[in-house]
Amino acid sequence: MTIDIKLELAKENFNLDVDFSVPLKGITALFGPSGCGKTTLLRTLAGLEKANGTIKIAEDIWQDDTIFVPPHKRAIGYVFQEASLFPHLTVIKNIEYGLKRIVASNKSIPLKQAVELLDLMPLLKRRTIHLSGGERQRVAIARALVVNPEILLMDEPLAALDDTRKQEIMPYLESLHDELDIPVLYVSHSWDEVTRLADSIVLMEKGRVVDSGNITDVSTRMDLSFNHQLDASAIIEAKVIAHDETFHLTHLEFSGGEMSVVQKKLPVGHSARLRILAKDVSVTLEQQTGTSILNIIPVMIEELYNENPSQVMLRLKVQDTILLSRVTRKSAAELGLKIGLKVYAQVKSVALLN
């Protein structure tokens, strides 16, 4: 099941020209710099803007040469960058606004579940002007969820919030992902948000789709310029397998090995996402002993990419897992690093994203 999008629209500063599909499953990030057409694309999907082309969701056609389904007849939920709550209604009335307008048989996400998921119980009777930015956005998300959308469209829902508020909302977005089976199209220009939330990613630049795919693949592709920034990192899907109560560590398993991180309260069997910065990974030809580094993984060099005259980015592979390592060109030459060579990746630091 996919949503198939083929659209063309001339705008003042770019021409939107896209033709791609998004899986109707998990969170898909629409990622790119500001002004690249992400928001326009999302608005077109919602029917809030008109562009030439076709939009097909599963078997339903929302738009083609002859059909244009108006926004209120599309099975979407939309979360705007600013919460845009109705100021004349209380929190609960805001959430009920859409709920009242859908047929009863479609109410698969009960109000109660949405309210609990987003922790809104204490706010329900309040007027919206008394809410903080983070609270407003949580109400907006609940309001969009209860209309039981076939796809939830989120337009940089965190961009208008300060860092503290962002951190406050992030866990809710993650639980949304874990507990509800609603596909989400998430517009963002923050790599940090995307790596924490997205399962797959659609990269946009100047109105075009540059690349799309699984987040773990796209984040380690050498030919994409944003993978060569200072915080270039690999994303790894892992699973909690045990906790070490003596040293307060959490052991995780991924395709090709195991890793230990500073203990996090996650149940055994819970899936987790790890981010490993390229600058935190070094390589050795033999397995080191007598080192403080806990996580040493045997890998194979798949690609070397000269980033600048002094640094090389290595793409390292073990089974389905890819790691990035940034080393000096001098080290690469002295160790004789080349494609196909088996080395040991020493991981100095791992961030557990959830």
Partner 1 sequence: MFLESDITALFITLKLAAITTLILLLLGTPLAWWLANTRWRYKFMLEAVIALPLVLPPTVLGFYLLIALGSNGPLGKFMNFLGGQSLAFTFTGLVIGSVIYSLPFVVQPLQNSFNLIGRRPMEVAATLRASPLDRFFTVIVPLARPGFFTAIILGFAHTVGEFGVVLMIGGNLPGETQVVSIAIYDHVESLSYSHAHGLSALLLISSFALLITVYALNRRYSFNVKE
Q: Which alpha helices (DSSP H) does 131-241 contain, by range?
A: 133-145, 163-179, 191-197, 215-218
Among residues 32, 40, 44, 47, the one that binds partner 1 under rule CB under 8 A: 47
Nearer to partner 1, 70 or 122 (CB): 70
98 is an interface residue for partner 1 by CB under 8 A: yes
Burial 154-189 (b: 16+ CB within 10 A, else e): bbbbbeebeeebbebbbebbbebbeebebbbbbbbb
Binding mask 3-42 for partner 1 (x = CB under 8 A): ----------------------------------------
Among residues 13, 72, 269, 286, the one that binds partner 1 under rule CB under 8 A: 72
104 is an interface residue for partner 1 by CB under 8 A: no
Contact 154, 81 (CB under 8 A): no
Nearer to partner 1, 3 or 261 (CB): 3
Min separation Cβ 47 and partner 1, Å:
8
183 is an interface residue for partner 1 by CB under 8 A: no
294 is an interface residue for partner 1 by CB under 8 A: no
In a 10 Å sphere around its CB, with 0-12 CB exposed, 13-18 middle and 19+ buried, how is residue 349 labelled? middle
Burial 115-150 (b: 16+ CB within 10 A, else e): bebbebeebeeeebeebebbbbbbbbbbbbbbbbbb
Among residues 52, 54, 84, 190, the one that binds partner 1 under rule CB under 8 A: 84
The span of 81-89, 212-220, 276-284, 333-341 binding partner 1 (CB under 8 A) equals: 81-89
| Backbone angle region of 319, left / alpha / beta, with phi > 0 → left and psi within -120 to 50 → alpha | left
Query: Binding residues for partner 1, how many (CB under 8 A)?
Result: 26
Min separation Cβ 64 and partner 1, Å:
20
DSSP state of 150: S
The span of 31-39, 43-51, 175-183, 222-230 binding partner 1 (CB under 8 A) equals: 43-51
Quote the crossing angle between the two packed helices 163-179 and 133-145, to the nearest 10°: 20
**CA-CA-CA-CA torsion sign (27, 32, 34, 35):** negative
Among residues 34, 59, 66, 88, the one that binds partner 1 under rule CB under 8 A: 88
DSSP state of 179: H
In a 10 Å sphere around its CB, with 0-12 CB exposed, 13-18 middle and 19+ buried, how is residue 263 labelled? middle
The span of 19-27, 44-52, 219-227, 263-271 binding partner 1 (CB under 8 A) equals: 44-52
Min separation Cβ 70 and partner 1, Å:
7
Looking at the chain, the number of H-run helices and the number of E-run strands are 8, 20
Contact 29, 211 (CB under 8 A): no
71 is an interface residue for partner 1 by CB under 8 A: yes
Among residues 59, 65, 87, 289, the one that binds partner 1 under rule CB under 8 A: 87
Rounded CA separation 175/138 (Å): 12
Task: Show contacts with partner 1 in window 116-175 (CB under 8 A).
Answer: 129, 136, 143-144, 147
What is the amino acid identity at position 215?
Answer: I
105 is an interface residue for partner 1 by CB under 8 A: no
Interaction site with partner 1 (CB under 8 A): 46-48, 70-73, 76-78, 80, 82-84, 86-88, 97-98, 101-102, 129, 136, 143-144, 147
